[in-house]
Every structure is written in C-alpha cells, then in structure tokens.
Chains A and B, each alone.
Chain A
Amino acid sequence: MNQLIISAATEGAEAANPLVPNLWEMGVVLAGFAVLFFIVVKFVVPMFEKTFAERAEAIEGGIAKAEKAQAEASAALEEYKQQLTDARAEANRIREEARAEGAQILAELKEKAAAESARITAQAHVQIESERQAAVVSLRSEVGTLATTLAGRIVGETLEDDARAARVVDRFLADLESQNAGVAK
C-alpha cells in the first residue's frame, strides 16, 4: 500500500511540474471567482452598505433629535425664568403702587375729615352765634316787656305806648351795658 502511494507520488512528480497549471482548473477558478464577484457586487456589498448607512443615519438622526430636544428644553426653561422674573417685577410694581395709592387715599381721607370737622365746627359757631343773637333779641324784647309791665304795675300808669317804652328800655339797657363795661374795665 505504502509502496504504491510512494511510487504513484514519484511518478506524478516526474510527470508534472508544480508551476505548470492545469488549464481546466484555471477556468473553474476564473468562472467561480467571476460568479462570486458578481454576487458580491450586485447583492452583498450594496445590502451591507445600505444597512451601514441606515444605521449611521439612525444614530446621527437620534443625536440630532436629542440635541434639538435639549435646545428646545433650555429655550423653554429660559422663557419660564424670564416670565418668572417679569412676574416678580410686576408683583413688586403692583405692591408699590398699592402702597402709594393707600397712602394717598389715607392722606385724602385725613384731609377730607379735617375739612369736614372744620366745616362742622364753623357751622356750629355760626349756629351758636345766631342762636345767641336770637336769644339776645328775644331776651331783650321779653325783658323789656316784663320790665315795662312790672314798672307799669308798680307806677300805676300805663306804659303801653310802645315807642316810648322801647326808648326807656333801650336807654336802661345801654346804661346797664356801659356800667358793665366800666366794671369789666
């Protein structure tokens, strides 16, 4: 068996130079490689490249989307902060205004109350004065009447003559007033 293989091998070695190709084998390799190359160009590479491109796009698209969302979120945050600041300023302004307005109202009220009280006081003065005047007038006439009536009774003659009686009373009262003024002095 061994002898057979060795002799076959040596015979083969004598028969063929390893550098001389078998033309049929070359043909098969050429045809086989051409078929493989065709399949690779037509199907394998385009399909893999498409997948790679889609994947790259999916990843980059995701990153872009995330960046956009981030930007939107920070813009919204900025807006809210701005609104908050505005609202605070507004609240402060309103508070200040209210304070000022309150103070003004208070001042007005005070002024009004003072004016009212002054007015009431003045009115009272006037009223008192007029009442006093009325009292003086009524007193004067009544006292005069009483005194004349009394004097008439005492004297026994009528002093019903008004004009004369009034003159007597006035004179008496004027004397009385001058007397009082002298005492006061």
Chain B
Amino acid sequence: MADTAIRTKDQTPTIEGMAEGMAKPAGALDARLAALNLPQQGGFSARARQDALGRLRAMGLPGPRDEYWRYTDPRGFNAPVPQALPIPHADETPLFDGLDKLTLVFVDGAFDEAASDDLALDGVEIATLAQADTVGSWAADLYGVLESAGQTPVKRPFAALNTAAARDGVLIRVTRTPSRPIHVVHRRGATDADAMWHHVIRVEQGAELTLLETGMSGARSNGVIEVDVARGGKFHHVASKRAVDPKVGISHVFARIASQAQFKSFTLSVNGTVMRNEAVIDIAGDDAVAHIAAAVLGDGEQAPFHHDDTVFITHGAERCESRQVFKKVLKNGATGVFQGKILVKPGAQKTDGYQISQALLLDERSQFLAKPELEIYADDVKCSHGSTTGAIDDEALFYLRSRGVPRERAIVFLVLSFLADALAEVEDEGLRDRIYERLDVWLTLNAVH
C-alpha cells in the first residue's frame, strides 16, 4: 500500500460485474503481420522497427474486452487485409486549394514525387522516410521513440504496428520558421490498399511550423505522426479527413512539448465507417501549451458511421496549459466516441487543464459514448472537464424560424454554432473561414429534415 508511484489501469473493464481480461485472438497477430510484408532490411529505422515488433508481440492485438477499445470494435483493424473499396470520384475542390503552401502528395501512404512540389523550403529540411532510410537522417533519434514512450500506461498496438511496418512518410525538421505551410495530401490508389505512413517532425528552438493535412488513403489506413517541439517552438496542425466511402482508419499523434513550446491541433472529420484518432501528448517542459480539438460530422445513412477520438494528455511540468475541445454532430444512427484523459504528474503544479466533449444527436438512433477522465497527483492545479449530450435546442430553432430563417438553414446555423468552440482552436483566421465555408456547404447538401 505504501506505494506512491503512478498507477494507471486502463487495460481492463471498469464497471463491476463485467467480465475481465484482454482476449488475444490466437494467431490473429501472426496473420496480420504475415499479410503486411514487413520491410526486411532498413537503414536508420531498422532498430526501431525491430523494437516496435517486439512491443507489438508483447502486447498483442486488442480484443473485444480490452478496456481501451470499450466503445470501438477493433476487428476492422485486426483483420489481416482490408475490405476492398472502389476509388471514389473526387468532385469538390480540395479544402486548401489556392493557398500558398508546399504540397506533398502520398498515394496510399507512398510518396508521389511527380505530384508533389519540390522539397525545398527555407529553414526546413524535408525528406521522405523511404529515401532517407537508406542514407540516414536526424530522425533516427525520434523514429519510434515518442511512439514507444506513448505505450505507457496504455497500450497502442496499431501505433507499434505502424512503426514496424510503415514504409514511407515525411521527415520534417524546422530550424527557422518557413514562409509557408506544408500541406500533406493523401490520395487513394489501389482499391484494396492497406495504407500506412509515418511522419516525423521536429520543430527546433523558437521555430514555427504549420502542417496541413487533407484527404484519405487506402481502403484501410494507419498513420502515425511523431512531433517533437523544442523550447519555444510552435507547431500547428490542421487536418481535414473526409471519407465518402465506408473506410476504416486509425491515426496516432505522439507529441512531446518542451518548455514554452506550443502544440495546436485541429481535425475536421466527416464520415468513414470506423475512424479512430488517438493523440498522446506529453507536456514535458514548464510553461508549455497543448491544445487539441476536433469537429466531427457523422452521417450513418450510406454506411455505418463510427468515430472515436481518444486523447491522453500528460502534464509533467509546471504552469502548463492543456485544452481538449471535441464536438460531434451525429445523425442516421451514427456513433461518436470520446475518451479523453488528463494526467497531472506529481509536481506538475499550476497546471491548467480543460476538457470538453459534446455531442449533438440529430436523430433517435445516433449515440454518443464518452469517458472523460482526470488523474491528478498535484494539489495546486486547475482541471475541469465537462461532457454534454443532447438534441438541437428547440427554443433556438423556434427563435430562428420566427425570424424567417427556413428550418433547414436554421439547423445549419445551430450546428455551425455548436461546432464554433472547436473551430476557434484553428488559429489562422483564413484557414478557419475556409473550414466554415466548407462545413456550410456539406451541411446544406446533407440537410437534416
């Protein structure tokens, strides 16, 4: 009992009366690995890949009773091969078109040099994982390192799988703030692609980077981003993920934030059958800031929609601020999941942690499942979390309609205003306006009647 060490038990069911244990489908991992054709020899990443494989074998794939997969069925991620899907026809302009940016295109996780801009940007070293792996890279000190650290206290087998198996990705090292953002575009190639990519980003002291990410890849996708922000550095991440087909995807962001550094991430997600976005943020230096936000629109009409945001923020230093803002709009039997955790380590005094998860359910069949957690080991901190679930406010709707706004338009207004707190986390006003416009279009096209 005289044990003050931090104990987190996230691996087992939590409600009394539930069965125990983590079922490991026998042979499932072997089958999964066999289907992957793992890189046999590698350059700088070889060691990290071996270690990741060891981690993965030790933890196994998640079973149906794994507490961390309580609300999301891992079977789609466990299956050896994805279900083939036709390539959808892209009929709208990409979200960040017309913006001055450096664009990198990945098709099913592999770099497409012809479709991409030249990798030259002042103040930034850019390389692809596939190329750099043969010649060596600064990223050798980071590849798989933050992912590995992020496996405690909760196991994230698909991130370890990614470190072991991803063949490509982008390596970005920012020494001086570049003049324009970097835009990673994901595209689909083959109908049955099991896409995997692994980005490594280091923002050096005092530098700043905006990373834009759009599009989808593979019939199934697994993406990992490791971000290391040095003292006083700033990293902004704005992602838009829209699936127009019943796609299965998982992503992990592992961030380490040094003192006075800043990490801000916003993701807009629209549809997809099973999407899980995990963020593991380690606030390691004093006076650092980490914000993570998401706006999710889920419509289960064409394919079952299931969207899971799982966030784990660790405060390990003093006077740091973290903010989690997650908003989900769900209709036609859509399911939204939020698992968010703030861990305040002993000594992380003056922490200011905030977390809000909210769902707007637009019909009787949709559901929201949330587990907003706090784990606090320091006494002089401020941590709050809130979670609400409900329908469109009839009074607000009545108010708008009484002022002549048609019902469908009024609902679009109310949904946009519901999402506003999450969108406010996009610092760049221009980007934010683009996202609002796009949302407005989507919401109007998919009107709720």
A and B, one complex?
no
